Amino acid sequence: MQQDNFTKYLLLLCALFVMIGIVGFGYWLYNQQDTQNNNFLLSELSQINHTQPLIDLDYKETQPTKSPKDSIYSKDSQETIIRNLPPKPQHSAQIKPPIQGNKSIKPKVAIIIDDLAVPKDIESFRSLGLKLNLSLFPKHTFSQYNPEIAKTLDFYMIHLPLEAMNFKQEKVRVLHTGDSLKEIQSYIATIKQDFPRLKYINNHTGSRYTSSKNDMQKLLRVLDMYNITFVDSKTSTSTVIKDIYATRQQIYLKRDIFLDNQSDTKYIANQLEKALHLADKNGFVIAIGHPKQATLQVLKQYKKRLKQHYELVYMNELEEFLKTTRRE
């Protein structure tokens, strides 16, 4: 009896070992297959071009463009617009040298929109899809967001307030005739710090200042220190800037025409026609407009024509073009 029990126990033990062996062998086979699969996947992944990201990290959801209305100076609305500004577009800053006799060369049109201080106004003109020279007021209480907005722009200018013959009320920091070289340098240094990429300035008012040779020489001397070029808005017929630039043998950049002295679409369209005629005649033109709804409307109407028959340029592109043609 004891012998039978021992035999049963031994058989049970053997069966248990056999089962353990089978389970172990199956586990080993499973691991081998898994390793082969992993090796195959690694081999396949190694063939993939990893220079292409699986997700476009540069994609940004764009905000819908709203129809522009009158400027709103509310802080909340300005901050909202700043947050919704699209990323800075990329454009080439180079102009190919003109080929003599090549009729395919389009006349150059540089349109400056100055008096810009309100984010909504800036975005309205920016969203036109036209290459415009947006000229921003220096940082002030009413233009406090301009330095941040400038960071999103491919190109910008500064609209520098200069002393006029008749100032009713100075609401912004103005350079006056008689200001010392040190005072001028201090102000320009502050502007340059707020707008590090600044290369071009045009004057806001300034009929008295631009008529003073001594004061303009001091200002231009300071601008030279910061590699900034002055564009004459020609707010006075007695401007001395042309004569100064002639002695310096530099390109004199000046306004040829104001687009919107009257806030009427017919008047503005007529002024733009005059500007385009000058471009056809001379090869280029510099026109100045302002953040007005009528100006915005006319530019929208002329958008297709401007793009098809003219080359809208930034001021640095126009200056390079003029240097090239002067050398020839």
pLDDT reading at 111 higher than 80: yes
The per-residue pLDDT for 309 is: 98
pLDDT reading at 30 higher than 60: no
* 230: DSSP letter: E
Confidence of residue 271 (pLDDT cuts 50, 70, 90): very high
pLDDT in tens, 287-318: 999 999 999 999 999 999 999 999 999 999 99
The per-residue pLDDT for 170 is: 67
- Please name each of the domains of the chain with its CATH number: 107-327 (3.20.20.370)
Distance CA 136, CA 127 (A): 16
Mean pLDDT on 265-278: 99
41-50, 97-106, 193-202: the lowest-pLDDT one:
41-50
The per-residue pLDDT for 238 is: 96
Phi, psi of 229 (to 5 degrees): -100, 140
The rounded mean pLDDT for the chain is: 81
* 209: DSSP letter: G
Evaluate the CA torsion angle 246, 249, 251, 253 in order and state its sign: negative
- SS3 label, residue 257: strand
* 101: DSSP letter: T
pLDDT in tens, 167-201: 766 678 999 999 999 999 999 999 999 999 999 99
